[in-house]
Structure 1
Amino acid sequence: MNQNRVQASEVAPRAGLADISILANASLTSVTGTDMTSNAQGNYDLALKYSGTGLASVGVADKKVLVYALPAELQGKVVGGATVDIDANLLPITPGDIPGVSLLFGALGTAIDGVDKLVAIPAVKAAFDSLSTIQNLGAYQETLPATVSPDGKTISVDFTQGFGKYVHQAYVALFDTLRDAIAAIDVKNPIAAIPVKLLQEASADLFAIIDAIADGTSDILDNALNANLLGSMNGTLHTTVSDPGVASATVKAGAINNALISADVLTATEQEGEAVTLNFPTTAVNPIENYDVAAPVITQPVAGQTQVAGQVTLTQPIPDGTTFEAVVTLPDGSQLTGTVESDGTFKSAGVDQLAAGQTVTNG
């Protein structure tokens, strides 16, 4: 019994979408509307936008994957591949406060103050001071190729690498003004020569770290910005599907921290993902378009009858939802109908008594 308890405790529970999601307040919409119109080739162009706000725990290095779950009606219907437009806003940061950078940044500030007391360097001071305040990192925008799974159940895109590269470049670019201002210092006062040299040495140490961040050889930024980085974002899937042959199909989507679209991830997305239902035009099909309908045969009528009966040979199988009526034309030209039963027999509605010599026809 104890052994069974241990084994049961080691079984990992199935993750729900909330456990792996990177966005909150999410929604999925069709940019072009939910009523689909076919293109010149008879296919349907989709533009599905997934939007939300980054969770507080989402950092630079965390996996960032958009996954769209296709319903059975659209599986195997994707033609020409797929792309996703990523538009992710970053939350502002204070560049000089980043751990791993702040100590060197502070040392440079001390050197700048020392020089500034001897000779004014307003451009350097202004550039340095701006890095001590909150700065905007802008938005990561890129169109990426998406992956259609071999079984046709999902379309996904991993934008972790592109997002991380953008963050590094945006952060490093914030220091360009300071770098240029320091390089432009031209102090002719010999008294300031030593402080200027100290400033240049301090800046060299700082910019060595900045350059390492730029070329990806330092993970300082990834470690420092491990949360509270991703603001509002959206990803718009562009793909084309052939006619699904149904009136509607519902696509679901999620933004997750897992690049492996496992069965559990797919199930979570299908059950809990944001949904949009697309409506496709359908053409009504005549159920008996290729069905041979035999002419009814009237049982020999007898004078005095008040009903006309007969038989129709019905070809099997009969199209689903199809019923037949036999039309009987009386001597005065009027017509009566009778429902054809499943065995092919029919009886017309009641009439006046038939008289000898009258002719009754069928249709």
Structure 2
Amino acid sequence: MAEELMLEAESKNMLKDPALFLKIILRYIDEGVMEKMLDIVDIMKRVNVRVSDCIFCAIVNGFSKKRGLRAGVRVFEDLISHGCEPGQVTYASVLNMYLRLGLYSKGEKVFSEMEQKGYHNCVVAYSSMVAAYSKAGNVREAMRLVAKMKQRGIEPNVWIYNSILDMNGKAMNLRQVEKTWKEMKRRKITPDQISYTTVIGAYNRARELDMCVKYYEEFKMTGGKIDRAMAGIMVAVFSKTNRVDEIVELLGDMKSQGTKMDDRFYRSAMNALRDAGLQVQARWLEEMFRWDPSEKGMASSTSYLQYGVISHVGWRLHSPDSENPNTSIDLKCGPILHEAKTLDPKAMSWVGEDILFP
């Protein structure tokens, strides 16, 4: 398809149209014919059509998408050596690639070039740099950069605030966490899911569980969707405070919002139960995951939940195993074992308000 476009452009003498070159390049990306894009750049130079920032960025991101980050930064460097001039969008994309590869010195060099060329108001670039400093634990440089933003009149976005919350939360600097949260509200920056998860995680590490519950309730009031990360933290919080009803309610919220469990959530729940000293519940959970041989004696939560019904009046768990594939266990809120009986594992009926996980 891209070749046909190129032939058509040549026949109609349309090789001066930058939009057409961009269209051809995007076609080559879709087709995965990456080297052809560099041929297009040579043709553009030959007919004196500038490689715009949009085209430059499309090529770099195309290589990154199809062949990985290293291929993306390599083609960026190649195009620079061939006299192509990147703009703000390309710089911001490549900066992010370098930082994701852990090449911080090259990332800082790109950021410095952006400032020298007048692209010092790019919030996306600031976000990438602050996130990188946060990940590296370099709180001083991150805060210095945020201060520079404010001096220049650039408004930090929610990504930048999330990075600040994260690094201060990990450093157990709850005073700065609270200060940052209030600043977000004052500047009318709406916290997102990551914001709430980060703050709740920080207070959980500090064992300030009431604050975790406070922010969790605020998150729910804003209509936030509970993902696995949030659920994992709150299972730990509710387990430590022995709030079994809240755990059941959380599972119900996950179901209604379409959030599925996975092995990571299982491990989080298991660790939370053990840390809280709830050994009966931990043993129960372990028994329910025991039968899958692919997990060395532990079933994945996906397999397990295909047979699970959680109800507000009790728990019925169909848990087939190699010895007795038609066993189910009924648990009344606790969970404490009451009875076990044999039945068809497809029979999922239950009296009460059922929450059926697929």
Q: Considering the TM-score relative to the shorter chain, is it more than 0.5?
A: no
**More helix as a share of residues:** 2
Q: TM-score, normalised by structure 1?
A: 0.17
**More strand as a share of residues:** 1
- Name the larger-Rg structure: 1
Q: TM-score, normalised by structure 2?
A: 0.17
